[in-house]
Amino acid sequence: MYKHKNINMRTTLDLQDELLIEIKVLAAQERLTLKEVLHELLRAGLKARQNPMKPLVAPIPYRSTLEISNSLILKLRKESAQ
9-54 pLDDT, tens digit per residue, is: 888 989 999 999 999 999 999 999 999 999 999 999 888 888 777 6
Q: What is the three-class DSSP state of 44?
A: helix
What CATH number does residue 21 fall under?
Answer: 1.10.1220
Torsion, Cα of 4, 7, 12, 18 (10° steps): 80
3 assigned to some structural domain? yes
Residues 6+ apart with CB under 8 A from 27: 33, 34, 36, 37
pLDDT in tens, 56-75: 676 666 666 667 788 888 88
Residue 73 lies in a domain: no
- Domain presence at residue 27: yes
Q: What is the pLDDT of residue 1?
A: 52
> For the chain, what is the domain count?
1
Of 63, 62, 61, 80, nearest to 72 by C-alpha is: 80
Residue 75 forms part of a structural domain = no
Look up the domain containing 44 and give its range: 1-54
CA distance 82 to 79: 5
- Residue 69 lies inside a defined structural domain of this protein: no
